[in-house]
A = this chain, B = another copy of it.
Amino acid sequence: MSGFGPRHLPYGVFSRPGGERRVGVRLWSSVVDLSVLGGLLATGSLNPLMAAGRREWTAAREAVAGLVASEPPLIPLRDVTLHLPFEVADYTDFYSSEHHARNVSEILRPDSPGLSPQWKHLPIGYHGRSATVVVSGTPIQRPSGQLAEGVFGPTRRLDVEAEVGFVVGRPGRRIATTAFAEHVFGVVLVNDWSARDLQAWEYRPLGPFLAKSFATTVSPWVTPIDTLATVAGVAQEPEPLDYLRPAGPAFDLRLAVEWNDTLVSRPPFASMYWTAAQQLAHLTSNGAAVRTGDLYASGTVSGPARDEVGSFLELTRNGAEPVTLSDGTSRGYLENGDWVRIGATARSAGGEEITLGSVSGTIVA
């Protein structure tokens, strides 16, 4: 609960038993009920505030800070149910970690390893299924599918992808990288669950489909963008085309992936090649619209070291090199009953360490 102090105050949607949904912020181990502030914060959904734009976002932060500084209506977290914090419009997933892209290529396509030709020219992405975006804690049913020619059954290579998601507030088209903060409301953590056997069989030539459409989990708390300190991104060579410049801010989130009770990886978000501002500029460069509630995720976050990777595909080299968990058992991929939690810490704009809302799920048969 450390890291959820009065300088963070991420937004979420909660309810009490038998009660209606309300917008709140997290403070330590409690929720502050924001319905007392009225207006956009009394609607039971974050979307109206998200749609209102940066001026309203700033006004809301001031109102919330004032409420928290006085005698806020606190409700212990254990007494509430947390819901999906926003209604998801389109869900897009990128592929912007160079380490991840190189690892995947090396493991799955050893005959032609390396980045695809356009990788350093544009942030590769694809559309996912917004119907199956769920909130942290939702059990994940092991998906079935075609594992190979003639074989249908439960996936044998159920994986995670530790990612950072960006939530669009103000709609737009052709959004310059410099307009990023006018359109993006906040950040969530994302686990883009993946079935690697389904993916390998289905993905050519139109990309992943059922391997990733069964569930995508997001954290229940949305951290407003300007809560986070920004850092310089990684050097980009060759220089990107004009519409991808300047690169915009990078964020120094330090992710942690726990598999059952074992910390197995610490993916560094600051190592991503493409920034969130470049992803949004690319996504909308063709005239495509983003709407309030659009979620776009960074792609799996992997650093250069083996204990910094954001997928088990990379961690266990596609199951060939299992990891040993703290209970002495070993794993190549997820087993039924396994539990995964992705958390993150970051430096706030004010210089304190804050904790992002974590994203967890348990695998069921």
Contact = CB atoms under 8 A, between A and B. Distances in A.
A88 to B, nearest CB: 10
Interface stretch (A56-64, A209-217, A316-324, A345-353): A209-217
A202 B127 contact: no
A271 B195 CA distance: 32
A333 interface: no
A214 B127 CA distance: 13
Interface in A76-106: 89-90, 95
A329 interface: no
Contacts of A131: 89-90, 288-291, 294
A145 B289 CA distance: 15
Interface stretch (A34-42, A116-124, A355-363): A116-124
A286 B213 contact: yes
Contact of A286 (B144, B207, B288, B294): B144
Contacts of A290: 131
Contacts of A291: 131
A206 interface: yes
Given A129-B127, A131-B288, A145-B285, A122 B202 contact: yes
Contacts of A149: 117-118, 121
B210 A207 contact: no
B206 A95 contact: yes
Interface string A137-149: 0000101111001
A204 B289 contact: no
Contacts of A127: 126-129, 209, 213
Contact of A124 (B128, B206, B243, B289): B206
Task: Please report whether the interface of chain A is mostly helix, strand, loop or mixed according to DSSP.
Answer: loop
A152 B241 contact: yes
Interface in A174-209: 195, 198, 201-209
Contacts of A117: 149
A287 interface: yes
A215 B215 CA distance: 26
Contacts of A195: 286
Nearest to A244: B152
Given A131-B288, A203-B205, A213-B286, 12 more contacts: A89-B131, A90-B131, A121-B146, A124-B209, A126-B126, A126-B127, A127-B129, A141-B287, A143-B286, A144-B287, A152-B242, A152-B285
12 contacts: A89-B130, A90-B130, A117-B149, A127-B129, A131-B289, A132-B289, A144-B286, A145-B286, A198-B286, A203-B205, A203-B206, A214-B287
Interface of A: 89-90, 95, 116-118, 121-122, 124-132, 141, 143-146, 149-150, 152, 195, 198, 201-210, 213-215, 241-243, 282-283, 285-291, 294
Top 7 nearest A-B pairs (CB, nearest first) are A207-B207, A143-B286, A127-B127, A126-B206, A206-B207, A213-B288, A210-B286
